[in-house]
Structure 1
Amino acid sequence: MSTGPTFSFATTADEVATAFVNEIKGKNVLVTGTSLKSLGFETARVIAKHANLVIITGYNAERLKLSEETIKKEIPQANIYPLVLDLSSFASVRKAAAEINARTEPLHVLINNAAASFVDFKLTADGLETQLATDHVGPFLFTKLLTPKLLASATPTYTPRVVFVSSAAQAVGTGVDFDALENPDPAKYSKQVAYGQAKSANVLTAIELSKRSKGKINAYSLQPGLIFTNIFEKEDSIPTLQSIGVLGEDKKAIAERPWKTLPQGAATTLAAAFDPRLNDKPGAFLDDSTVADHLLAPHSSDPAKAERLWNITEKIIGEAFVF
Structure 2
Amino acid sequence: MSPIPTFTFATTAEEVATALSAEIRGKNVLITGTSLNGIGFETARVIAKHANLVIITGYNDQRLKLSEEAIKKEVPTVNIRRLNLDLGSLAGVRKAAAEVNTYSESIHVLIHNAAAAIGSFKLTVDGLESQMATDHVGPFLLTKLLTPKLLASADASYTPRVVFVSSGAHAFGAGVDFNVIEKPDPKTYNASVGYFQAKSANILTAIELSKRFKGAINAYSLHPGVIFTNINQKEESIPEMQALGILGPDGLPNKEKFDWKTIPQGAATYILIVNRSVFVLMLFDSTVAAAFDPRISDKSGAYLDNSNVANESVAPHSSDPANAERLWTVTENIIGEKFEF
Aligned residue for 2:155, secondary structure, equals: coil
Q: CA deviation at 1:19?
A: 1.1
- Residue equivalent to 2:319: 301
Q: CA deviation at 1:140?
A: 0.2
Equivalent in 299, 302, 306 of residue 281 of structure 1 = 299
Distance in 2 (alpha carbons) for counterparts of 1:197 and 1:265: 25
The 5 Å alignment of 1:136-215 reads 136-215=136-215
Aligned residue for 1:199, secondary structure, equals: helix
Distance in 2 (alpha carbons) for counterparts of 1:90 and 1:61: 18
Is the contact made by 1:225 and 1:265 (CA closer than 8 Å) also made in structure 2? no
Is the contact made by 1:32 and 1:57 (CA closer than 8 Å) also made in structure 2? yes
- Residue equivalent to 1:243: 243
Q: CA deviation at 1:170?
A: 1.4
Distance in 2 (alpha carbons) for counterparts of 1:182 and 1:266: 34
TM-score (normalizing by structure 1): 0.98
- Residue equivalent to 2:260: 259
Aligned residue for 1:186, secondary structure, equals: coil
Distance in 2 (alpha carbons) for counterparts of 1:255 and 1:281: 33
- Identify if the C-alpha distance between structure 1 residues 266 and 25 changes in structure 2 by more than 3 Å, giving closer, same or farther: same
Unpaired runs of at least 5, structure 1: none
The 5 Å alignment of 1:22-171 reads 22-171=22-171
Aligned residue for 1:179, secondary structure, equals: coil
Amino acid at match of 1:116: A
Q: CA deviation at 1:322?
A: 1.2
Q: How many residues matched?
A: 321
Q: CA deviation at 1:117?
A: 3.2
> Is residue 292 of structure 1 aligned with residue 292 of structure 2?
no
Q: CA deviation at 1:196?
A: 0.2
Identity rate, percent: 68
Is the contact made by 1:224 and 1:265 (CA closer than 8 Å) also made in structure 2? no
Moved more, 191-200 or 164-173: 164-173
- Residue equivalent to 2:275: none
- Residue equivalent to 2:8: 8
Is the contact made by 2:117 and 2:236 (CA closer than 8 Å) also made in structure 1? no
Is the contact made by 2:117 and 2:234 (CA closer than 8 Å) also made in structure 1? no
Distance in 1 (alpha carbons) for counterparts of 2:95 and 2:56: 15
Higher helix content, 1 or 2: 1
Per-residue CA deviations over 1:19-73 (Å, capped at 9, x if unaligned) read 1111000000000000000000000000000000000001101000100001001
Unpaired runs of at least 5, structure 2: 268-281
Per-residue CA deviations over 1:245-289 (Å, capped at 9, x if unaligned) read 111111111222211267664310000000001111010000000
Is the contact made by 2:206 and 2:301 (CA closer than 8 Å) also made in structure 1? yes
Distance in 2 (alpha carbons) for counterparts of 1:305 and 1:260: 33
- Residue equivalent to 2:330: 312
TM-score (normalizing by structure 2): 0.92
Amino acid at match of 1:281: K
Amino acid at match of 2:339: F
